[in-house]
Structure 1
């Protein structure tokens, strides 16, 4: 456990550095672009994030689980993941450029889509996490983030425009992937040297089959967390989207934390499950207790100081973002619950339920947005997101007898409040 906690500490340290760098740079980008252009920038990110999820094929967590369970197939699984994501990334890039030529996609979306290629090698993170080597991930990402931050600030200082700022995001991914390629070169050479095409084919089919529910689940998650932005742009315009996106960037800034922590200690979850079912369920219960306390306290602090945070971060021009931040910050509680729930599903090999929950969450979000955005504007979109997160992260687990057990574990953690 100590080994994985040390790895988690490195990853948390990296996220701490990245958090402040990205947040401070995002504030400067928002100020530089102003609400209208910042709305356009956010819209491009929302569209490209869907394309990036598609290129990932949903196999990220499958690889983490399988790398944690077995050492013997790491090289062939890694080769299969590179082949799959590399191929799909090229297809998506060609599609994006085709749609751009047809004036269906903007140049901003097309450039963001370039992130697909370097992120192909990000699967090496799964191997490092499964071995508890978070230090290497942390160093790679810190160098990438710091370089990118300096480049973005330079683009703003020299008034280079939105296109060059977006290119800095691509450069960041290239730097990180270069480190992963260098560090994983021996594993990659081993995979190529000992390649067995029949085994490679079977592993590709296995990853596609197992990853399909998580892929569609990921699409649904991105869809219902970004649908509000797409609908706001359509119904209220780019300026309203700029105000909404500014608030969301603050409230979502910490969303990575629970997923990062539980990804880092997920191999320990698997180990506990193999050793003792009782100790495994106790670990899940205590995980719920910890994230509830931390997320509730964090959300309350952001809610209390929401006006000061917006004024300090963006200035008075973004004052319309304050009520959105005051509401949306509570989504962190449901995100944290969802982080534990999703890892439990993966450990139980029930990832197909992630797709179902995400799909229902998307439907709820769209229907609520249609009802609330015309009446309450961007505040209505915040309310819709909170309601859909509540359903998808916890309430929908009651429906199936296979997942109902998790709800009992959750309420036991709340009632007993054990650490």
Structure 2
């Protein structure tokens, strides 16, 4: 049954994201308190540069793998599947090697001439090894996802995050500082890649290994070409703000901003249903596609809206308790960035276009949004600091979401019901009116405030008929 398969994938994907985000928060809290703000800023900038260059390791290959391998698998044509797999694997390995060498060779130039921080050079050299292996782990995960198997996401999260936490804490505590933190990423990426490789061979070796059919490479490359632009654009979109902060402001402000973004990303990832809907959208057409979208959108908005509204209320105590009072400059940026939770939970549009073989639509729109983001960062960071970067990120994400939504309506007649947003917004405003009058002084009181807010929210939503008994029965049967 489709709903149960989606529910199962949501569970695996959500748990993998919870593990990843929990580990990310733990590492960031540990490093922020251990390295102090200047070295933590150097670490944050190193990781941001590495992830920015990681765009050249994907170039749309992961999404292309899911699209074409899932299609061949659904037809039962394993020879065609092997053809796609072997062709795309060769490209992925070559791109990973190229990007790793590129970062290694550029490390001195970037540290001296771009960021004017010579201590960045050595961490960037070590980060090049991380850039070699982590993309391969992501690629292997996409192969599993092509089989509608999201359990691998959980396996990857456990192997990667466990080794990352252990290695970073061990090396930093031994005095290796920023280098130890970066080496933790290297060890974790090697571990995850190795585990996923052996699991893939064991589970799907008979399907993937053997004679492959000659495929139409031109069609694959045409599809990938759009995703290539999209992959580079999206990565620039995600990390250019941090890099530009490092260009315009002292390096510690990169750390402040990354903390704000990390907290938002940790919550957004848990609510990110669109990722698991991609292979489902590949197989659906017409009314089935519209119905699957509407239900997924409705349930996602039901959870994401109150979280986006409520996070700013607890932002200051969360930063103070987790990272320390010296990182409170991150709070204002966190208030603004909390709106990205809606973008992550309700961003189905790109997945729909990619699933239907029309990646050019999200690519063109995302490219415009990326240019908008860079320009706004250039204008706003010198004036408003990291809050300006947050404003630029939210504004450009909103532009991307709105334009793709209307294109989806025009091309597929797939659109959301406005009531599915309005009712959660009204309920969230009532929730805020209640919890803003509560001033918790202890952690237990803060937890109680969140619980009360949730009760108020769902009670109002129930009165507005935003959630009905049939929804409860549907979700219960799906997850049972």
Do the structures match in fold with TM over 0.5? Answer: yes
Residue 351 of structure 2 corresponds to which residue in structure 1? 343
- Residues 367-413 of structure 1: CA distance to partner in whole angstroms, max 9, x if unpaired? 2223322222211211111111100122355469855844x445475
- The answer as to 2:338 corresponding to 1:329 is yes
One of 386, 396, 417 as aligned partner of 1:388: 396
Which residue does the alignment assign to 2:225? 212
2:293 to 261, 284, 303: 284
- The count of aligned residue pairs is 409
Task: Go from structure 1 to structure 2 and tell me whether the alpha carbon gap of 1:397 and 1:378 turns closer, same or farther (over 3 Å shift).
Answer: same
The structure 2 residue matched to 1:175, chosen from 187, 191, 197, is 191
**Structure 2 spans left out of the alignment, 5+ residues:** 112-119, 424-465, 472-480
Q: Secondary structure at the match of 2:161?
A: helix
Matches within 5 A, 1:17-416: 17-71=19-73, 72=77, 73-100=80-107, 106-118=121-133, 119-185=135-201, 193-195=210-212, 199=214, 202-203=216-217, 205-259=218-272, 261-273=273-285, 277-338=286-347, 340-395=348-403, 397-398=405-406, 402-403=410-411, 405-406=413-414, 408-409=415-416, 411=418, 413-414=420-421
Deviation track 1:227-248 (CA, whole Å, cap 9, x = no partner) reads: 2212211112212222222211
CA deviation map 1:189-231 (0-9, x unaligned) = 87564256xx26x44x443321221221122122123222122
CA 1:136–1:317: 2 relative to 1, 3 Å: same
* Residue pair 2:32, 2:40 contacting (<8 A) in 1 also: yes
Deviation track 1:314-340 (CA, whole Å, cap 9, x = no partner) reads 1011111111111111111123222x1
Q: What SS does the corresponding residue of 1:248 show, helix, strand or coil?
A: helix
2 CA distance for matches of 1:13 and 1:264? Answer: 13
Partners in 2 of 1:122 and 1:367 — Cα distance? Answer: 30
Aligned-pair Cα RMSD in Å = 2.6
* 2:17 alignment counterpart: 15
Shift of 1:182: 0.9
Deviates more, 1:87-96 or 1:262-271: 262-271
Q: Which has the higher contact order (CA 8 A, sep 6+)?
A: 1
- Alpha-carbon deviations, 1:13-59, whole Å to 9, x = none? 22222322221121111222222222222222222112212111212
Aligned partner of residue 184 in structure 1, secondary structure: helix
The answer (yes or no) to whether the contact 1:42–1:245 under 8 Å persists in 2 is yes
Q: Does the CA-based 8 Å contact 1:52-1:113 persist in structure 2?
A: no
With over 3 angstroms needed to count, the CA separation of the structure-2 counterparts of 1:13 and 1:295, relative to structure 1, is same
Change (3 A) 1:41 1:35: same
The TM-score with structure 2 as length reference comes to 0.78
What whole-Å deviation, never above 9, does each CA across 1:147-195 have from its counterpart, x for those lacking one?
2211111123222211121111111111111122112236568756425
1:192 and 1:289, CA in 2 relative to 1: closer, same or farther beyond 3 A? closer
Given the superposition, is the C-alpha separation of residues 345 and 329 from structure 1 closer, same or farther in structure 2, using an over 3 Å criterion? same
Distance 1:101 1:308 in 2: 39
CA contact (8 A) 1:337 1:394 kept: no
TM-score, reference length from structure 1: 0.88
Where do 5+ consecutive residues of structure 1 fail to align?
none
Cα separation, 2, equivalents of 1:342 and 1:55: 20
The 2-side partners of 1:379 and 1:135 are apart by 38
Change (3 A) 1:281 1:103: closer
Distance 1:19 1:335 in 2: 14
Partner SS state of residue 254, structure 1: helix
CA contact (8 A) 1:5 1:265 kept: no
Contact 1:251–1:329 under 8 Å retained in 2: yes
